Amino acid sequence: MDKSTGPAYCAYCNRGAAYSLNEVNPCIPGGRTAEDIASRLVELRFGNGRRVQASVRCFEAGGIVTTRQFSVSNVPAGSFSLAEARRIVGPYFRPNPWIYWTDFLVSWSAGVACFALTSRPEVVTAAAEWHWPLRVVFFLASALLYYRCSLFIHELVHIPANQFRVFRIVWNLLCGIPFLIPSFVYYTHIDHHRRKHYGTADDGEYIPLSHMPARQILFYLSQVLVIPALAVVRWGVLTPLTWINPPLRDWVHRHASSMVMDPKYIRPLPTKKALRLIRLQEALCFLFVWAMVSRMTVNNGLIFDEPLSLMFIAQVYLTGVFIVGVNALRTLGAHRWTSRGREMTFVEQMVDSVNYPHNPLIAGLWAPVGLRFHALHHIFPTMPYHALARAHRRLMAELPADSPYRLTEARSLTSEIAALWRRAGAHRAEDNRAAPPRALSA
């Protein structure tokens, strides 16, 4: 491996600083050199434009995933260089606060208005024959807008804690607490992005659906009917009990405090610093639940003239089911779910994830806030949502024709879910054929 031909691009921190292989790299823990630690893909750039993957071993956020060595002449076709991809999308990593604030506040305000108009179509027109069609339109509009607001929780997880502090507070007050999804329930999402955890038992957001019976997909979708009610029980009933029962406190945190799809996932106990924020958000959710209960039963004229109607409660429940249901469908199409529980390489994780660049208006409804570019998000988790579409176009234009990144594209959500269903059925049939015959009973 030639050390003198040029500087190496630092792919350890995903930034554009250049360090030679035998130069101390401040991005690497311990201040060692890239050659010493055999860190992530290090790309040597030569004056004649040739490139070569130069690291002996690829260190991907927690573990050595492969041992490979390349020269200038034998870089394998179809390989994926994280450093090259990072160079292409380098200008797209700075979040724009104005976009975040405008998008969230406009979506939230319009959602509140549409939610109110769902039960008051007469405000729009006095013609009775239009009232039910308008109710349906306003309900769908409010649910989609609230859904968009909810998914800003995904952005907050990936933005450093010392940034967007006011936005975090406002989001929790306007969306996280009223929707019973305070931001701390999504902290575990980071495990989904850890290279050693993705697709394993440590990843609460992954179920190997491609290797399970197809009915498991239906079971996963059926949970949307009970999740809104379970959320009320979690915050309104279990929360105060955890204040007086430490063992229950730990159980609830481990088993009932995470936005995950694997019901067997066990969340690690929090640090003392995190626990203070968790308890604050839990208390606010508890107060909100019981404020709503009070509004259903108390109408003494002290604050409100009449309690909340059953129609209002039904609308809240149906909105919750709609949001959870659409998100469940989006989740089914976000990955191909091909892992068997073992650690996957970086390229395997990338190809197991899906981008939906086509039909942006429709895809933007069921996968808002950049989530239709899920594979790209897994490559660069800190890239802000408003830059993902442009970054994807740049990558498709500049990456080689045989780049595995091109395998991440899909035409539509329905086609991916249909393919998942076929894979699940096919693997089930293979398992049945491979199983030994059972002895006949006497």
Amino acid 359: pLDDT: 94
Q: Which residues contact 19 (CB under 8 A, 6 or more apart)?
A: 7, 8, 10, 25, 33, 34
Amino acid 307: pLDDT: 76
Strand segments (E) across 33-92: 43-45, 51-53, 57-59, 64-67
Bridge partners, 48 (sequence order):
none
Structure tokens at 348: 């395997």
> Minimal CA–CA distance to 370: which of 359, 382, 385, 357?
385
CA distance 425 to 407: 22
pLDDT in tens, 228-238: 999 999 999 99
| 226 phi and psi angles, rounded to 5 deg | -110, -15
Amino acid 57: pLDDT: 33
pTM, to two decimals: 0.79
CA distance 105 to 116: 17
Burial 208-240 (b: 16+ CB within 10 A, else e): bbbbbebeebeebbeebeebbeebbebbbebbe
- Which ranges in 119-214 belong to alpha helices (H)? 131-150, 152-158, 165-171, 189-193
Handedness of CA 288, 294, 300, 305 (dihedral sign): positive
CA distance 341 to 332: 17
CA distance 374 to 353: 6
Amino acid 425: pLDDT: 82
- List the pLDDT tens digit at each of the 442 positions of the chain: 333 333 333 333 333 333 334 444 444 333 434 333 333 333 332 222 333 333 333 333 333 333 333 332 233 345 888 999 999 999 999 999 999 999 999 999 999 999 999 999 999 999 999 999 999 999 999 999 999 999 999 999 999 988 999 999 999 999 999 999 999 999 999 999 998 999 999 999 999 999 999 999 999 999 999 999 999 999 999 999 999 999 999 999 999 999 999 989 999 999 888 999 999 999 999 999 999 988 887 665 555 667 788 899 999 999 999 999 999 999 999 999 999 999 999 999 999 999 999 999 999 999 999 999 999 999 999 999 999 999 999 999 999 998 999 999 999 999 999 999 999 988 665 555 555 443 333 2
92 near 383, Cβ under 8 Å? yes
pLDDT in tens, 372-428: 999 999 999 999 999 999 999 999 999 999 899 999 999 999 999 999 999 998 866
Q: Which residues contact 98 (CB under 8 A, 6 or more apart)?
A: none
